[in-house]
Amino acid sequence: MSSNNIIKDEEIFLKEFLKDFYRKIIRIDHHSRFENILIDWIQDYFNDNNKNSEMILKLMENHKESENWFSSLIGFFYEHDISINDNNTNINNKNDFIKFYLLSIKNYENKKLTYIIFDKRNLISKSFESANVMSLNQFEYFNGLLEINLRKDELSTIEKYFESLNNDSNKINYIKRKELEKLNDLDYCYQYGLGKKKDEFKAFEFYLKSAKEGNSSAKNNLGYCYQFGIGTEKDEKKAFEWYLKAANEEDLYAQYNLGICCLNGIGINKDDEKALEYFIKSAKGGYSSAQNILGDYYQNETEAKDFKKAIYWYNEAAENGNKFAQCNLGVKKDEVKSFEYYEKSANQEYLNAQYELGNYYYKGIGTKVNKTKAFETYEKAANKGHKVAQYYLGFLYQNGDGTEKNERKAFEYVEKSANQGFLYAKSQLGNYYSNGIGTEVNKAKAFQLYTIAAVGKHNYARNSLAIMFENGEGTEKDLEKAFFWFHKAAEDDCRIAQCNVGEYYELGNFVDKDEVKAFEFYEKSAKTGHISAIFQLGYCYVNGIGTEINREKGFETYNKAAEDVNVHNYFGKNDKETINNLNQIIYWYYKAAENDNNFALYKLGECYELGKGVWKNRVRAFEFYKKSASQGFIYAQYKLGHCYEKGFGTDMNKVKAFEFYKIAATGGNVDAQRSLAYLYEHGEGTDKNVENAIYWYEKAIENGYLDVKENLDILLKQQNN
């Protein structure tokens, strides 16, 4: 290939690259990481075209019009170390990138690219985040090298237009249009203080002059000024009028603005049909915000619902860099595509997308499970105030997923989320206060938070509030209120509450005993995989509680507990300790079905007391201990005494505690001997009797319980005195 052809090819590539670079900047809608996206785009662009970025940089630097046309691009390359190496002799200091930006500002034709680069960092995001938008459809013309239209839809139109520039009248129109555009750009500089002292009144004055001369962008921007009172008094009717004038001249932003006005009744009566018309016009012209709105419309409007059209417009908007559309496309059934869209949207700092991306990393949806990445993306959204991300970040800190375990941090983030009104966080914060996670135990605060979340219809909070009423924690014990909140949550299909309501009916706690109803609630809860309900349902089948005896069905139900996917999802498939506990409790349920089952019943009580393989449940533990104790099992008799003494799973009753301790102590249980001695010493549940207290303390010491020797010594001294 001849050198002339090579030069021509290089020239063509530079033209296309500079044009596409401009277009890419404008297509990126209001995000602070636009530079990172541009850097990635440049690398991909060069890879797709088999070009070397270092070679392209040299071509731009050595071009005869380097200072006029490429200085801002070269500045961008040097600022971000694109293709810069230590052997580059053109620039001695890589930090001199600012000189190239300043060079471009000296030339008006090039300086607007520099303005746009800096503007993206500071201003565009602010103007585009409001409902209505400014027009930014400047044109650039570099001595015949190329015409750049910052609106995607007009790129080809402008190139064709310039083919007809030999016509003198066209040249005159072009010159006039350029003058008006320079005037409009000057307005923009005054409005935002770009290279000029900020002066909104002067900006309005120039917009008005340019608009009256026929510049459509200025007309739209003038409407924007009237709508928001920039450099003039606020006047929504005049805003609408100017938007309409610009829209009639095919200004995409003005068409979009008219859609917003008609939709919300700004400067005109509310008119949804007209709004839709203007959004369609703007969307067809390529404006991504209008395209995204159409996606929303076709997805959510009942009468106009059209999933295919919704996907079409979301795709159009997403391809134009719209972060909201990219996030909306994240709900697609294709998990890999969904992940990609969430990632694109998250890279544009869209908080909802960052939160969703965290979910995808955490669960391995459309990508490999990566708890560290999940933590990082949740953290980004959480630190910018996303309340749901704050809530999940708290969970990661609590469990040490993707980061070091830090309960204090967990508490802080969940508290932030709760302070923003997120009910799940309020409920979780109640849990933290109740159990002293990341803070001191405070049952009163836990009760308050559970109450707020319960009233807000959060079912876990309803269930937790019921437990506090049941146990008298943070409030007075009240079984009526406990049953009320259990039942409220059960009605909303809360599986934990359904199991608890079943227990109330089975045992006749507060309500009349009704084993049939108990069975029904256990069955509902068991179907969702609630482990305690599964075991209790099996127990009902084995023992004929609320249903006919069906031991085979009962054993089958026990076995299902180890296989149920919901159980594994809750406990974790690889949690060996939990799986072992699960197998243990299944074993004891089998043994409890045998005739000589007092030890098995005792072990089941222990499982429920400690929460091994099932949820902790003092009431259920008490019931199993009681059944075992009734068969004469000494350890169960001691446990029953302990439950009565402390009010665990039943009402506190020191007299009954004394009775069961005495039975177990006489049978040789050392824990019962110690506890019985204590009751005699303090006169609880019986008359105070120092001699009997000394006797049972001595018995406990004889059996190896040395911790009570100090108690014994004190009583012996008192006796001697």
Whether the pLDDT of residue 484 is over 70: the answer is yes
What is the domain partition of the chain in residue ranges?
A: 1-166
* Distance (Å, whole) CA 644 – CA 660: 9
Q: To 5 degrees, how large is the angle CA 337–CA 332–CA 401?
A: 70
Element (H, E) at 330: none
Q: pLDDT tens digit string along 433-472?
A: 999 999 999 999 999 999 999 999 999 999 999 999 999 9
Q: What is the pLDDT of residue 86?
A: 43
Give yes or no for a contact between 150 and 137, defined as CB atoms under 8 angstroms apart.
Answer: yes
- Res 356 pLDDT > 60: yes
Query: Largest Cα–Cα distance in the chain?
Result: 127
675, pLDDT greater than 80: yes
Q: Which residues contact 136 (CB under 8 A, 6 or more apart)?
A: 26, 124, 150, 217, 253
What confidence score (pLDDT) does residue 123 get?
36
Residues in the chain: 721
Proportion of the chain above pLDDT 90, given as a percent: 50
Q: What is the pLDDT of residues 558-590, one digit of tens each?
A: 988 777 656 555 555 556 777 788 889 999 999
Cα separation of 656 and 577, whole Å? 36
Q: Tell me, what amino acid is at 219? A: K
C-alpha to C-alpha distance for 221 and 36, rounded to whole angstroms? 29
**What is residue 70's DSSP assignment?**
I
Say how many CA atoms lie within 13 Å of 520 toward its Cβ: 8
**Cβ-based neighbours of 60, under 8 Å, separated by 6 or more:** 14, 66, 70, 73, 74, 77
Q: How many helices (H) and strands (E) does the chain have?
A: 39, 2
Q: State the pLDDT at residue 85.
A: 54
Strand runs (DSSP E) across 504-628, as ranges?
none
Which pair of structure tokens corresponds to residue 241? 């009028």
User: Sign (positive/negative) of CA torsion 151, 155, 158, 162?
Assistant: positive
pLDDT at residue 12 greater than cutoff 50: yes
Given this model, what pLDDT does residue 178 score?
Answer: 54
Residue 124 has pLDDT above 90, yes or no: no
- Cα separation, 42 vs 53, in Å, equals 8
SS3 of residue 307 by DSSP: helix
Element spanning 222, H or E: helix 216-228
* Lowest-pLDDT choice from 24-28, 208-212, 375-379, 448-452: 24-28
How far apart (Å, rounded) are the C-alpha atoms in residues 225 and 585? 72
Q: For position 119, what pLDDT does the model report?
A: 44
What pLDDT was estimated at residue 389? 95
Helices within 305-370 (DSSP H only): 307-319, 323-328, 335-347, 351-363
Query: Any idea which of 129-143, 444-458, 646-660 has the lowest mean pLDDT?
Result: 129-143
Q: Indicate whether this model's pTM tops 0.75.
A: no
**pLDDT confidence of residue 414:** 97
Contact residues for 364 (Cβ-Cβ < 8 A; gap 6+): 370
**Paired tokens of 179:** 């003058």
Name the helix (H) or strand (E) containing 139: strand 139-141
Q: How far apart are CA 517 and CA 522, in angstroms?
A: 9
Q: Considering only CA atoms, which of 387, 388, 386, 409 is closest in space to residue 398? A: 409
* Residue 531 contacts residue 561 (beta carbons within 8 Å): yes
DSSP letter for each residue of 276-306 = HHHHHHHHHTT-HHHHHHHHHHHHH-TTT--
Residue 634: which of 612, 609, 663 has the closest Cα? 663
When mean pLDDT is compared across 33-37, 278-282, 353-357, 700-704, the lowest value belongs to 33-37
Confidence of residue 189 (pLDDT cuts 50, 70, 90): low
Q: Which two tokens stand for residue 327?
A: 């996030």
Q: Rounded CA gap, 627 and 599, in Å?
A: 10
Q: How many angstroms separate the CA atoms of 116 and 101, rounded?
A: 11
Q: Span 73-90, mean pLDDT?
A: 62
Label residue 332 by pLDDT band (50, 70, 90). Answer: low
Which segment, 286-290, 299-303, 622-626, is predicted with the most confidence on average?
622-626
Least confident of 205-214, 283-292, 562-571: 562-571
CA-angle at 297, arms to 295 and 299, nearest 5°: 70
Q: What is the rounded average pLDDT of the residues 290-297?
A: 87
| Cβ neighbour number for residue 520 with a 10 Å cutoff | 17
pLDDT (mean) for 615-638: 94
